[in-house]
Amino acid sequence: MRRIDPNRFHVATRGTSRQINRQIALTLISSHQPISRADLSRRMKMRRGAVGLLVQELLADCQIVEGTTGETARGRRPTMLYINTRSGSSVAIDIRASRTFLMLADLMGQPRSDIVSLPTAQEPKRLVTALARRIADLLKSHAGIVGACRGIGVVVPGMVDPGTGRVLHAPTLRWRNVDLQARLALATGLPVHVENSGRACALAQVWEARNVAARVRNLVFVSVSDGIGVGVVVNGELLRGRHNIAGEFAHMPLSIDGPRCSCGAIGCWEAHISNLATLTRYFGRPQERTSGDHAFTIDSLIARARSGDGKAAAALQASARYLGLGLGGIVNIIDPDCIFIGGEITTAWDLIESSVRTALGERALSPAAASTDIVIVSAEEHPRLRGAAMLVAAPTFAAPVVA
């Protein structure tokens, strides 16, 4: 149970219960669409007349639409309800150390355009200028195809102040105290939401109504890429902590004499399992981040491992073992229902799963913890971009805060 904070609360008003019921109706429609009024009434356990009024309000606000008629054994055929995904759109942006990716999404976070990318300029002002130009091009080329843009969602590999959208520290970008939200909003004239990439990925899983995350309340998302992003959801809510650094497992130490991490410390989990760490292990010398067409990437290394390159396979298996050891620490601390893993390394999951599981079992404090479900989110699902899109879409479905 959650205690009411006597210093921070919102008193329920006469319209609070109706507002909550509207959000419940929207969430159920998004989860079960197409759905009839009668089925919605049964799921909400409310009188059909009361649900009918809620539906009329949502139709009038263009948040839902009526679609095809359903089948019934007898009587009048029901008209089915859907979320109105065409009433608006969002721009999703995934900033990484090497490249930045953009796409348009609908109000359910589903892609509505091809993904475009550009090299990530290290200087924030240059990057914002380039992004504003690409955003304008995207919206212009899709005018009349998608609804009006409701905002921009941006995910970054670093710590973010959720109130201001300021990037407090992004080691792989070498950014500190960058006011990204205000700069991009000024350059585009659109509302901007900025979040840590791992947290955004976790958010996307929570709001993806039809996947396994909808059935769990405690989950962890681990994104393995240029760096490591981790998002933790406890009892259905993102874990942030007092200083907005809760869940930064990427910088927990695995060894006191390991490789130097981008954060400056020695032996961090990220320094052992990031794409750059795996490539460094393969070549036997530190690797620089490159984004050119002929760059040797983690995908190149995985391809070599599959073709019989023993050195590539060994580098991959070493990263797999460190990945499992870190997951063991997360399981012992959070004890989640499920762990989601995303990133390029997941394309080699058939090669590394056994090593990951073995290492996880070595660290987990009980057999049950060692068997924690692991769900792979493929790179083709673009979890970071989906997370960025949900930064704009999720507030539509979020429950009002009353305490």
DSSP state of 107: T
Position 136 scores a pLDDT of: 95
pLDDT at 321 over 80: yes
Q: How many CB atoms lie within 10 A of CB 353?
A: 15
Q: How far apart are the first and last CA of the chain?
A: 12
Task: Write down the pLDDT at residue 272.
Answer: 95
Cα torsion 368, 373, 374, 380 to 10°: value is 180
- End-of-domain residue from the set 51, 67, 83: 83
Q: Taking the CB of residue 355, how many other CB atoms lie within 10 A of it?
A: 18
**C-alpha span between 194 and 165 (Å, rounded):** 5
C-alpha 29/C-alpha 35 separation (Å) is 6
* Spatial distance between the Cα atoms of 179 and 161, rounded to a whole number of angstroms: 10
370, two tokens? 């060692």
Looking at the predicted structure, is the pLDDT value of residue 214 above 80? no
Strands 338-343 and 237-238, by their bridges, are unpaired
| Residues 168 and 258 both lie in one domain | no
For the record, the structure tokens of 132 come out as: 């504003």
Same structural domain for residues 130 and 186? yes
Query: pTM for this one?
Result: 0.85
Tally of domains in the chain: 3
Residue 108 has pLDDT above 70, yes or no: yes
**Does 77 share its domain with 92?**
no
Same structural domain for residues 146 and 54?
no
pLDDT of 320: 97
Query: Is residue 353 located within the same domain as residue 283?
Result: yes
Could you tell me if 139 and 73 lie in one domain? Answer: no
Q: Is residue 219 part of a domain?
A: yes
Radius of gyration of the chain measured on its C-alpha atoms: 23
Burial state string for 121-152 with b = 16 or more CB within 10 A and e = fewer than 16: eeebeebbebbbebbeebbeeeeeebbebbbb
Both 33 and 173 in a single domain?
Answer: no
Per-residue pLDDT tens digits for 79-99: 899 888 777 889 999 999 889
Would residue 223 count as lying in a domain?
A: yes
Mean pLDDT of the chain: 88
6-20, 249-263, 345-359: segment of lowest average pLDDT: 6-20
Share of the chain above pLDDT 90, in %: 56
The CATH number covering residue 101 comes to 3.30.420.40
Which of 83, 109, 126 marks a domain boundary? 83
Q: How far apart are CA 103 and CA 390, in angstroms?
A: 13
Instruction: Name residue, tokens 């589903």.
Output: 110
Residue 2 has pLDDT above 70, yes or no: no
CB crowding 34-55: b at 16 or more within 10 Å, else e: bbbbebbbebbebeeeebeebb
Q: Each residue of 284-311: pLDDT tens digit?
A: 888 776 655 567 899 999 999 999 999 9
Mean pLDDT to the nearest integer, 303-328: 97
Phi-psi region of 296 (alpha: psi -120 to 50; beta: other; left: phi over 0): beta
Q: Is residue 193 part of a domain?
A: yes
Residue 10: inside a domain, yes or no? Answer: no
Domain limit, last residue, from 66, 83, 100: 83
* 5 is a domain residue: no
Question: Which of 376, 266, 280, 287 has the alpha carbon at shortest distance from 327?
Answer: 376
Structure tokens at 157: 């590999």
pLDDT tens digits, 147-182: 789 999 999 999 999 889 999 999 889 999 999 999
Asked if residue 70 has pLDDT above 70, the reply is no
- Is residue 11 included in any domain, yes or no? no
User: Are 195 and 101 found together in one domain?
Assistant: yes
- Please state which of the ranges 217-226, 283-292, 326-335 shows the lowest mean pLDDT: 283-292
Q: List the domain range (segments joined by +) for residue 256.
A: 212-379
Q: DSSP character for 288?
A: -
Same domain, 188 and 75: no
pLDDT tens by residue, 226-281: 889 999 999 888 888 888 888 889 999 988 888 999 888 999 999 999 999 999 99
Give the pair of three-digit tokens for residue 84.
Answer: 């109105």
Q: Check residue 134 and give its pLDDT.
A: 96
User: Is there a single domain that holds both residue 372 and residue 292?
Assistant: yes
Bridge partners, 195 (sequence order): 155
Report how far residue 47's alpha carbon sits from residue 49's, in angstroms, rounded to the nearest whole number: 5
Same domain membership, residue 322 and residue 216: yes
pLDDT higher than threshold 70 for residue 17: yes
242 and 225 fall within a common domain: yes
DSSP class of residue 85? G
Instruction: Establish if 7 belongs to a structural domain.
Output: no
